[in-house]
Structure 1
């Protein structure tokens, strides 16, 4: 059932102007509702935060989030009058959040996130970036969005007792591979790695040319050929990807008599599919 069809069913069943589609989280701890807030209407705590007193109201194109500790006013950025919200325990950490849609296009829907507590008025969490086309699974909030010709994905973690942070970023290299960077709660990030999209396994490739020159990046950002080369049949672990003016390159690790790390023209290798 689509989100919009569920809105229609709930509207008929409950005779409410605000409609909800409860989506069960895969890990059983995250809870969240998609909600529609029409002008002049309110949504109460039963649909927003089960254990906190809070209401969301839309009047004169201003959304008011009001709890027992105070209120917060947000301009409604949507053109059709109604506002769209997501509410619940996004990270399964026992805290309540309301995400308010601030932009919508043919491919992306973006939301600002507000935290609801018993001791403070609702507020926009500075360390939580705008979430885009959000998904909620395995204790994280996942944003995925299209920028030009590529898809990007960010995983937002919020461990108990810590601040929220982006724990993983991935960018589509092509239909098969993605470039992944993982970070910890203090902002330290691992080296980028290339992963197979379907399997999530590290990417590998086989040299397909009789001799494939090894490149190294220069100070001006260009790739300079080295005297060393790889030969057909050499198996490589792919570490990174770079697009330059008229060519694409993979950073690789090759384990022969010694371990070699360098760059190779993408046209000189065949990707090993690991579905």
Structure 2
């Protein structure tokens, strides 16, 4: 019996991915993915192209988004799956975040200029190709100019707290993000919880507040996650009666944590989020 392959967390050039939406969709189909969600950061600009590309493929496209949230003085990400991309409340919220991204980008460039790195804003703009600006675009520029060997090194030496290019973020609140997603008819999912390096107590606090705001699911599998991390997340999802989701968080690069559809089997003791639309 064949198993349906789900990948419910991917990125395109509409945010910080390297593949255009149509190319991403075709690659997913070639990799045997049956159900793909395009979840670009704080925008839905890639969904139209992805929809056209998926029309003649044996692949179901789920319209999604990944919203940046400030929680407990840190940044977390909330996925919205099966959203109505034309929803006004959602789009107004995303426009607010996009405007903030531009402000942050100018400040990052200013901070880098202080240490002698010129042209960072313009360089990041070139990599963004007219789409939303992210720290990854700055990272690609800095690698190109020889300031670091790879993107991971850029983040480590320039773009994290206490480093010269770091700018503290002020994103949407958890309540705002979930309201936008639910107003657009979407299903809310906490993205890659294991990557936030929170204690079990903090995770339970986050998940509890998420559920109080109407949150639906946890991404219990993300990329090449450690088995013990998956087990912990599945246990908490069951304890809090939340659904589970899975995704590669694919950005189209060789350094991705996992490639399209190449993620662990979904745990049998966790309620899959796709049960909500089947």
Q: Shorter chain as normaliser: what TM range? A: under 0.3
TM-score, with structure 2 as normaliser = 0.24
Structure number having the greater helix percentage? 2
